[in-house]
Structure 1
Amino acid sequence: MTIASQVNGLSLDAPRLAPFYRTACALDLAVFVHPAQIPAGYALFGEYDLARIIGREVDLQVAVTRVIAGRVMEEYPTLKLVFAHFGGGIAAVRERLEAKAGRFGTLRRPFMESFDRLYFDTAGFEGGPIALRCALAGIRPDRLVFATDYPQDFTGATTQTGKGIEGIREYVGMIRGLELPGGAAAAILGDTAARLLHLDAR
């Protein structure tokens, strides 16, 4: 199943989405959250193609925060959400969110309890070392799943300006070369995704 980070301006904690979440849980299906094509509500991103370059990532961060603050993760304890692009770089502000979560005025469970149930893919301009290392500083390795935007360039304007297959091979090699706990690289590169997609049961 898949859903955008906002649906026609509707945030992911909107009550109208309850049937969608119930269905995902009933079918035991992971839900992939991709940034909205052109996120609504960000007037300052109108020029310089900022809506796609930065706006989508901001929208993913907002979506991650709202499914926690809006208690979506608490209401659906078996829900599996997989956010694209490292959740818009959510690891960089995770500590701030955790420290200020009391201001949400909604949570019945600790912020990190819900955060640690979320999954994040490694895509976003076909990945990169800075984004990956930042993610690993704030997200458990077993919650990362390998992904790329290949063959499409992150601007969406052409498929000819991306890194290409060699860049993807380098990305895989970079992950394998990281000093991660035993089995963590294999989890990122396929094992976690296989479990989410029920491929490990075949």
Structure 2
Amino acid sequence: METTEFRDLHAHYLAPATIARIRAGDFAPAVSVSDEESGPRFTFPTGTSRTMQPAMADLDDRLRHLDECGIDVQVLSTWIDMFGYDLPEELAADFHRSINEGMAEAISSRPDRFGFFASVPLPWGDAAADVLEDAVTRLGAVGSMIGTNINGRYLDDERLTPFWRASERLDAPVELHPVNVAAVDRLHTHEFANFLGNPFDTTIAAGSLIFGGVLDRHPALRFVLVHGGGYLPYAVGRLSHGRTARGVAPDLLRRPDEYLDRFFFDTVVYSPAVLSALASIVGVSRLVLGTDYPFDMEPPAVRSMVAETLGEDALASIAGTARSLSCRLEYVEPHR
């Protein structure tokens, strides 16, 4: 009988090899790096990243942390500051391939502990499809992670269609992570851009996939929503009523609340009461573990909060869901 394996599907990483390519000027002048006392910062055409913390690129410290948390496998995603959606088209694909190659190389010595979600060059759907296919078939990516908006455009933008088709064909789930959040001009104090803006932008993104017909046109697409899906689980009643009352999106095949089964939701919600409500609304079978490592927004005691709130059977079910979503990772006996 197999031992339950716990997988974290929400974590960030930037490989030293990718940083080295940026230092070497491989993506200059569009991408450059400057070193400050607290760490490196990366400059793109329209702005400069936050300071990268050392833990972002350190797999040894990460492994120690995973052991402390009781996490067997972590599926890595790039740091959202490296999305590069403002890069010129002729450079973007090479830049994202570098991110993917860096992750694949870094984790190759520990395939029992790590997998990765690919980074892709949006808003160019054809290029994103090509980079995704390369990452999945050559490098072993289990899916992709993209932003909740692409330079402010909703995810029902028709330019993304080739990428959605490739994700379906490759059976590659898409994780959505907030970036460039809406109403940031009103969220500049109290860290509200993070505390409130991040979950709100995830809600907008999921709404655009529903109301824009993306889920109807691509029935095999699977999405992972971080931060518990933002406010989507608690907004679907209003979305469903409003659609009928105001005649919005009349061609949808289902009511908005009936599309919750197209999404998976991580457990980064911090509150047992919220986690319980989330499980009640979407079902335990739609939940996956997340840590948001290496950021300070990582919830404490990820596994134990789930077990104490929902029970050990639910925790085992959640572990099975995460494994099925990242099924390209070869199963090995869980690390203990």
TM-score by length of structure 1 reads 0.81
Q: Within 2, Cα distance between the matches of 1:151 and 1:163?
A: 11
Give the superposition deviation at 1:15: 1.0
Summarize the Cα distance change of 1:47–1:30 in structure 2 as closer, same or farther, 3 Å threshold.
Answer: same
After TM superposition, give the deviation of residue 173 of structure 1 in Å: 2.7
Which secondary structure does the structure 2 equivalent of 1:78 belong to? coil
**How far apart, in 2, do the equivalents of 1:120 and 1:19 lie?**
25
1:83 is the counterpart of 2:225 = yes
**Pairwise CA distance, 1:172:** 3.8
SS in structure 2 at match of 1:6: coil
What amino acid is the match of 1:109?
L
Q: Distance in 1 between matches of 2:150 and 2:273?
A: 30
After the TM superposition, which parts of structure 1 deviate over 4 Å for at least 4 consecutive aligned residues?
199-202
Runs of at least 5 residues in structure 2 that lack an aligned partner in the other structure: 1-143, 332-336
| CA deviation vs aligned residue, 1:138-188 (integer Å, no higher than 9, x gap) | 21221111112244212xxxxxxx555xx234324324527xxxx543222
- Structure 1: where are the runs of 5+ without partners? 155-161
Once the two structures are superposed, the pairs formed by residues 132-147 of structure 1 within 5 Å of their partners are 132-147=275-290
Q: Which of these two proteins has the greater Rg computed from alpha carbons?
A: 2
SS across alignment from 1:10: coil
Query: Given the alignment, which residue of 170, 177, 191 partners 2:304?
Result: 170
Deviates most, 92-101 or 14-23: 92-101
Structure 1 segment 102-141 matched on structure 2, within 5 A: 102=244, 103-111=247-255, 112-124=257-269, 127-141=270-284
The residue type equivalent to 1:4 in the other structure is: G
Displacement after TM superposition at 1:89 (Å): 3.1
Q: Is the 8 A contact 1:68 1:114 kept in 2?
A: yes
Q: Distance in 1 between matches of 2:250 and 2:158?
A: 15
Does the CA contact (< 8 Å) of 1:69 and 1:106 recur in 2? no
Assess if the C-alpha contact under 8 Å between 2:178 and 2:199 holds in 1: yes
Which residue of structure 2 aligns with residue 158 of structure 1? none
Relative to structure 1, the CA distance from residue 191 to residue 117 in structure 2 (aligned partners, 3 Å threshold; closer, same or farther) is same
User: Any conservation in 2 of the 1:142–1:187 contact (CA below 8 Å)?
Assistant: yes
User: Aligned equivalents of 1:192 and 1:199: distance in 2?
Assistant: 13
